[in-house]
A and B are shown apart, each in its own frame.
Chain A
Amino acid sequence: MAQNISNNFLSVIEANQSEILNDWIGGLRKPGTLSAGSINEGELKSQCSEFLALLHEAASSGNVAAINGPEWSPLREMLASLSRSRAKQGFTPTEVANFVLSLKSPIFRQIKAVDANDCDLLYEKLTSLSTILDILALWTTEVFQKSREELIIRQQEDMLEISTPVVKLWDGILALPIIGTLDSARTQVVMENLLQAIVDTGSEVAIIDITGVPTVDTLVSQHLLKTVAAAQLMGADCIISGIRPQIAQTIVHLGVDLTGVVTKTTLEDAFKLALKKTGATIVK
Chain B
Amino acid sequence: MDRIPILQMSSFLLVTIQVDMHDELAMTLQSDLTSKITQTGAKAVLIDISGLDMVDSFIGRMLGNISAMSRVLDAETVVVGIQPAVAITLVELGLTLAGVRTALNVEKGMNMLRKSLGETDSELGYDHPEE
Contact = CB atoms under 8 A, between A and B. Distances in A.
Nearest to B60: A233
Contacts of A229: 91, 96
Given A196-B84, A198-B104, A235 B91 contact: no
A235 B104 CA distance: 5
A192 B84 contact: yes
30 contacts: A188-B88, A192-B84, A192-B88, A195-B87, A198-B84, A199-B84, A199-B104, A202-B104, A202-B105, A202-B108, A204-B108, A226-B91, A226-B92, A229-B91, A230-B84, A230-B87, A230-B91, A231-B87, A233-B91, A233-B96, A233-B97, A233-B102, A234-B82, A234-B84, A234-B87, A235-B82, A235-B102, A235-B103, A235-B108, A235-B109
B104 A236 contact: yes
Interface string B50-77: 0000000000000000000000000000
A199 B53 CA distance: 14
A204 B88 contact: no
Interface string B96-131: 110000111100110000000000000000000000
Q: Interface size class for chain B?
A: 10 to 19
A145 interface: no
Contacts of B87: 195, 230-231, 233-234
Q: In terms of DSSP, what is the predominant structure of the interface of chain A?
A: helix
Q: Which of B80, B87, B102, B104 has the most CB of A within 10 A?
A: B87
Nearest to A202: B104
Interface in A221-276: 226, 229-236
A191 interface: yes
A196 B88 CA distance: 11
Given A195-B84, A202-B108, A204-B108, 5 more contacts: A195-B87, A199-B104, A230-B90, A232-B102, A235-B82
The 10 closest A-B pairs by CB, nearest first: A195-B84, A235-B103, A235-B104, A230-B87, A235-B102, A233-B87, A230-B91, A229-B96, A229-B91, A226-B91
Contacts of A202: 104-105, 108
A232 B86 CA distance: 12
Contacts of B80: 235
B118 to A, nearest CB: 16
Contacts of A231: 87
Contacts of A199: 83-84, 104
Nearest to B100: A233
